[in-house]
């Protein structure tokens, strides 16, 4: 005979405002099988949990329903309470009367009726619940970090210093990410390279970090504690074991006119190149799309043309025949730190569905209109101009630079309603970098608001205005066009209430921060979700900021939302701490919501085997005493099963059952709704 | 006569739609109160019999909602569900249920607004179609006949 306890939470006003919690408890009190029902103001508080624990013992309850918030919020809390009172934790269920009732309805009577119905449904379910034992599985104490920008570097170093083995995968030929492109950093004007490159070298030299640069994640299978990752090591056309990074090949390459990606198109590189002098690993990549030898091969010229790099290499490291290789790594946890790309004002938006570009800014075709990263390269001592800020068109020093904030950001009409967060700060930094190099230059900034929340941030923007004399104009720029030598900037100052027409020598656009192209494909491989803009969703926006909804997969840096360097570093460390916490367990406890086959009745059709997404269903021979095979039945490996239940819905005889979501439980719920 | 209050049962997956419905709550999006959610791990777990049973037990409409194609938490459970329901839809007519009473949708964890639209849309549709009755009037017995 079932003795179910029902505990209805007011959640302060959250539920209490629209749902009469006492009435719900009262209605359930007379429900068949309910032995105890009560309501309390905060069930998750210490006294609330005590109340549940004591009621379980006092009433010898056989099941518990907590009518409160979403199970995603507090299921674990109350299952622990049940466990502490000696009840199997899987005999406790949550009735979601907050997110899915009180918060979405105004009418008190209707909301109360609905809350009662929801609670009744779960009471019926819990009557059919069976006690389950948690599954214990071993953990592979190695972590995969995807992305070698500052967030990924931080995560990898913290993990490795904490004793874990780390596999770091970076798609570019060097780690360092966008931070390696920056000239200085706000709000201290530290040289970006000076603080980053020691960390990069540390990664390369760390005995517990295995670095796969110029590689991408191809396939991910498995589950928390036991992932298997296939990594594509893209062909560099250079033997990594032989190359010593002397650079003779890059010197010898006759094609020196390839626009450099690292220099944002402002500089040139040879077809075989290292992106920047401090690259880690310091190994070149042969760009087959731009190499004369490969271009000739594609045109059908069989004779080997060029090959100067191979001639110059004293170690025979150039390997024109090299192909992509694949390695498989077993890891227990994954940190995603793939970073960002900048919004392009052109018509082409990589994976930018719904983004239109800026026709009024010439779709990026107006000369001397550049983006923030390009200015970083111009200001950088190691950049294409040796740190001289000049116009890309004619090399002249600009006497007036106009900065436009919020290009793409905070503009729902362009598809991006969010604030990119870092632009206010880096524009102030750009003003300073420019003024430190061009003392008589004038900096004009068009802004919507100056958002400088952060330690030392507001002081920094004030410095740009007060010490560097930047002219901040509140308003948007309507149009940009080339007029002879200058770029005409037509805007409006909404504080002065006047239209403006400025002649600019250089225009810098603070374009929006977007996730990297390919993020959605990667998210699919990892079974994590993205928001509508492609940023990876965290498990909880406040309480679980570096976890994803998929156990064992964590997130750090700008792939989760626009982030500056301190935040990316903090997230990298936080994700590492979470992974190390996971690795500190001897074994992993998993929810026992896995499928189980009724071998006595299984007919051996193996439809379940065919539909299982994880290959968790195997075959087992059933023998009689004489050892003769009577039949072959399906068998589920509980370590591999993830509990989707597709097998049960497919089984014609219903002889495989998903624990925790059995047919009996679900039909009980359906019947209770009637 | 009191306005017809339809009973709608929603079978949703835990990872996308259930979380999306939670998000709708967190965002305080107001919606029609007639929908009751049954949480399942995946749409792949949904047996077409659940839907028939819901009608038998007095539901006037059913919503089935899960992760978007290619976004399934379990890799491809939702594809199995999609194939299953493509066939099931034709059978609905045979058992005497207007196929318009079964609403399929994909709602991701970040689409609280879409969930509200699905709930409100389904409620409006079912309200228009009117109550779904079993012809014996006896719960759990007899052939279903939805007069609409």
Yes or no, beta carbons of A673 and B19 under 8 Å apart:
no
Residues of A in contact with B40 (CB under 8 A): 645, 661, 666
For domain B8-145, give its CATH number from 3.30.1180, 3.40.1000, 3.40.190, 3.40.50: 3.40.50
E strand or H helix at A499: strand A498-504
A412/A510 Cα distance (integer angstroms): 16
Please state the pTM of the whole predicted model: 0.81
CATH 3.40.50 describes domain A4-134: yes
Q: Best of A540, A649, A658 to disrupt the B interface by mutation (most B CBs within 10 Å)?
A: A649
Q: Tell me the CATH number for domain A340-514.
A: 3.50.50.60
Average pLDDT of chain A?
Answer: 94
Yes or no, beta carbons of A646 and B80 under 8 Å apart:
yes
H helices present in A43-191, as ranges: 46-58, 71-84, 108-127, 150-161
Q: Which of B26, B50, B116 sits opposite A670 (nearest CB)?
A: B50
**What is the reported pLDDT for A638?**
85
| Top-confidence residue, A142 or A549 | A142
Residues of B in contact with A650 (CB under 8 A): 80
CA distance, residue A108 to nearest chain B CA (Å): 11
**What is the reported pLDDT for B139?**
47
- pLDDT band at residue A589 using 50, 70 and 90 as cut-offs: confident
Residues of A in contact with B110 (CB under 8 A): 529-532, 537
Where b means 16+ CB within 10 Å and e means fewer, A49-74 reads bebbbebbeeeebbbbbbbbbbbbbb
Q: What whole-number percentage of chain A has pLDDT above 70?
A: 100
Delimit the domains of chain B by residue range: 8-145
Tens digits of per-residue pLDDT, B109-126? Answer: 889 999 999 999 999 999
**What is the reported pLDDT for B117?**
96
Where b means 16+ CB within 10 Å and e means fewer, A256-292 reads eebebebbbebbebbbbbbbbebbbbbbbbbbbebbe
- pLDDT band at residue A536 using 50, 70 and 90 as cut-offs: very high
Asked whether residue B134 carries a pLDDT value surpassing 60, the answer given is: no
Yes or no, beta carbons of A614 and B80 under 8 Å apart:
no
| Shortest CA distance from B50: residue in chain A | A667
Delimit the domains of chain A by residue range: 4-134, 142-234+325-339+516-583, 248-312, 340-514, 594-658
- In this prediction, the answer to ipTM > 0.95 reads no
Yes or no, beta carbons of B41 and A645 under 8 Å apart:
yes
- pLDDT band at residue A48 using 50, 70 and 90 as cut-offs: very high
**What is the reported pLDDT for A614?**
80
Tens digits of per-residue pLDDT, B53-84? Answer: 999 999 999 999 999 887 788 877 888 888 88
Token output for B35 = 């929908």
For domain A594-658, give its CATH number from 3.40.50.720, 3.30.470.20, 3.30.70.20, 3.40.50.1860: 3.30.70.20
Say whether A142-234+325-339+516-583 and A4-134 share the same fold. no
- pLDDT band at residue A345 using 50, 70 and 90 as cut-offs: confident
HEC string of chain B equals: CCCCCCCEEEEEECCCHHHHHHHHHHCCCCCCCCEEEEEECCHHHCCHHHHHHHHHCCCCEEEEEECCCCCCCCCCHHHHHHHHHHHHHHHHHHHCCCHHHEEEEECCCCCHHHHHHHHHHHHHHHHHHCCCEECCCCCCCCCEECCC
How large is the average pLDDT for residues A213-232?
94
How large is the average pLDDT for residues A27-34?
95
How large is the average pLDDT for residues A176-182?
97
Helix (H, G, I), strand (E, B) or coil at A334: strand
Tens digits of per-residue pLDDT, A411-449? Answer: 988 889 999 999 999 999 999 999 999 999 999 999 999
| Top-confidence residue, A550 or A378 | A378
Contact status, residue A387 vs residue A263, Cβ threshold 8 Å: no
Asked whether residue A504 carries a pLDDT value surpassing 60, the answer given is: yes
Yes or no, beta carbons of B73 and A527 under 8 Å apart:
yes
Average pLDDT of chain B?
Answer: 86
**What is the reported pLDDT for A301?**
84
Yes or no, beta carbons of A646 and B16 under 8 Å apart:
no
**What is the reported pLDDT for A674?**
65
Q: Tell me the CATH number for domain A142-234+325-339+516-583.
A: 3.50.50.60
Asked whether residue B146 carries a pLDDT value surpassing 60, the answer given is: no
Contact status, residue A594 vs residue A608, Cβ threshold 8 Å: no
Q: Which of B19, B53, B74 sits opposite A642 (nearest CB)?
A: B74
Yes or no, beta carbons of A104 and B30 under 8 Å apart:
yes
Strands B133-134 and B144-145: antiparallel
């Amino acid at each position: 005979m079932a003795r179910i306890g029902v505990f209805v939470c007011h959640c302060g006003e959250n539920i209490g405002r629209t749902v009469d919690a006492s009435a719900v408890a009262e209605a359930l009190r007379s429900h068949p099988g309910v032995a105890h029902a009560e309501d309390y103001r905060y069930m998750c508080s210490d006294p609330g949990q005590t109340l549940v624990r004591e009621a379980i013992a006092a009433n010898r309850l056989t099941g518990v329903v907590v009518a409160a918030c979403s199970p995603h919020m507090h299921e674990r809390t109350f299952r622990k309470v049940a466990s502490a009172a000696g009840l199997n934790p899987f005999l406790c269920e949550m009735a979601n009367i907050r997110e899915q009732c009180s918060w979405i309805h105004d009418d008190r009577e209707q909301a109360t009726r609905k809350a009662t119905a929801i609670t009744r449904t779960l009471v019926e379910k819990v009557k059919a619940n069976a006690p389950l034992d948690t599954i214990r599985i071993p953990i592979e104490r190695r972590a995969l970090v995807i992305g070698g920008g500052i967030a990924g570097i931080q995560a990898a170093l913290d993990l490795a210093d904490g004793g874990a083995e780390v596999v770091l995968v970076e798609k570019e030929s060097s780690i360092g990410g966008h931070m390696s492109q920056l000239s200085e950093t706000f709000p201290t004007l530290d040289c970006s390279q000076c603080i980053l490159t020691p960390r990069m070298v540390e990664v390369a030299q760390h005995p517990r970090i295995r670095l796969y640069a110029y590689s991408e994640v191809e396939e991910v299978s498995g589950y928390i504690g036991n992932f298997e990752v296939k990594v594509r090591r893209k062909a560099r056309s250079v033997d990594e074991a032989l190359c010593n990074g002397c650079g003779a090949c890059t010197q010898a390459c006759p094609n020196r006119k390839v626009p450099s990606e690292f220099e944002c198109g402002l500089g040139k590189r040879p077809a075989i190149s290292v992106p920047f002098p401090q690259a880690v690993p310091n190994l070149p990549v042969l760009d087959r799309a731009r190499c004369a030898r490969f271009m000739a091969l594609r045109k059908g010229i069989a004779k080997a043309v060029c090959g100067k790099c191979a001639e110059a290499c004293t170690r025979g490291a150039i390997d024109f025949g090299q192909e992509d290789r694949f390695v498989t790594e077993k890891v227990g946890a994954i940190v995603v730190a793939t970073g960002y790309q900048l919004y392009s004002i052109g018509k082409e938006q990589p994976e930018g569905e719904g983004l239109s570009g800026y026709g009024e800014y010439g779709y990026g075709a107006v000369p001397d209109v550049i983006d923030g990263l390009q200015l970083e390269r111009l200001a950088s001592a190691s950049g294409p101009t040796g740190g001289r800020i000049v116009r890309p068109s004619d090399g002249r020093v600009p006497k007036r630079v106009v900065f436009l904030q919020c290009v793409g950001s905070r503009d729902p009409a362009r598809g991006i309603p969010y604030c990119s967060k870092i632009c206010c700060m880096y524009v102030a930094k750009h003003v300073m970098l420019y003024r430190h190099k061009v003392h008589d230059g004038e900096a004009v900034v068009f802004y919507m608001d100056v958002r400088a929340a952060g330690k030392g941030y507001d002081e920094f923007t004030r410095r740009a205005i007060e010490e560097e004399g930047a002219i901040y104009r509140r308003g948007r720029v309507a149009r940009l066009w080339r007029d002879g030598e200058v770029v005409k900037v037509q805007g409006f100052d909404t504080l002065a209430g006047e239209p403006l027409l400025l002649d600019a020598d250089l225009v810098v656009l603070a374009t929006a921060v977007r996730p990297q192209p390919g993020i959605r494909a990667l998210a699919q491989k990892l079974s994590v979700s993205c928001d509508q803009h492609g940023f990876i969703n965290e498990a909880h926006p406040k309480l679980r900021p570096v976890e994803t909804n998929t156990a064992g997969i964590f997130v750090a840096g700008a792939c989760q939302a626009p982030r500056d360097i301190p935040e990316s570093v903090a997230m990298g460390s936080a994700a590492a701490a979470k992974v190390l916490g996971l690795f500190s367990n001897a074994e992993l406890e998993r929810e026992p919501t896995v499928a189980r086959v009724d071998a006595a009745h299984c007919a051996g059709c193996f439809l379940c085997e065919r539909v299982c997404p994880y290959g968790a269903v195997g075959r087992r021979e059933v023998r009689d005493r004489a050892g003769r095979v009577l039949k072959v039945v399906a068998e589920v490996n509980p370590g591999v099963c993830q509990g989707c239940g597709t097998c049960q819905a497919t089984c014609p005889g219903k002889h495989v059952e998903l624990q925790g979501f059995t047919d009996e439980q679900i039909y009980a719920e359906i019947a209770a709704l009637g | 006569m009191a306005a017809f209050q339809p009973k709608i049962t929603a079978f949703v997956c835990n990872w996308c739609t259930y979380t999306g419905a939670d998000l709708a709550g967190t965002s305080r999006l107001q919606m029609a109160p007639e929908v009751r959610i049954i949480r399942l791990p995946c749409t792949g777990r949904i047996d077409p019999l659940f839907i028939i049973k819901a009608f038998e037990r007095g539901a006037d409409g059913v919503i089935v909602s899960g992760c978007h194609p290619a976004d399934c938490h379990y890799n491809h459970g939702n594809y199995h569900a999609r194939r299953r329901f493509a066939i099931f839809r034709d059978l609905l007519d045979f058992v005497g249920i207007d196929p318009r009473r079964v609403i399929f949708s994909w709602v991701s964890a970040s689409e609280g607004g879409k969930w509200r639209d699905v709930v409100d849309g389904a409620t409006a549709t079912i309200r228009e179609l009117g109550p779904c009755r079993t012809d014996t009037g006896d719960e759990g017995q007899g052939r279903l006949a939805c007069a609409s």
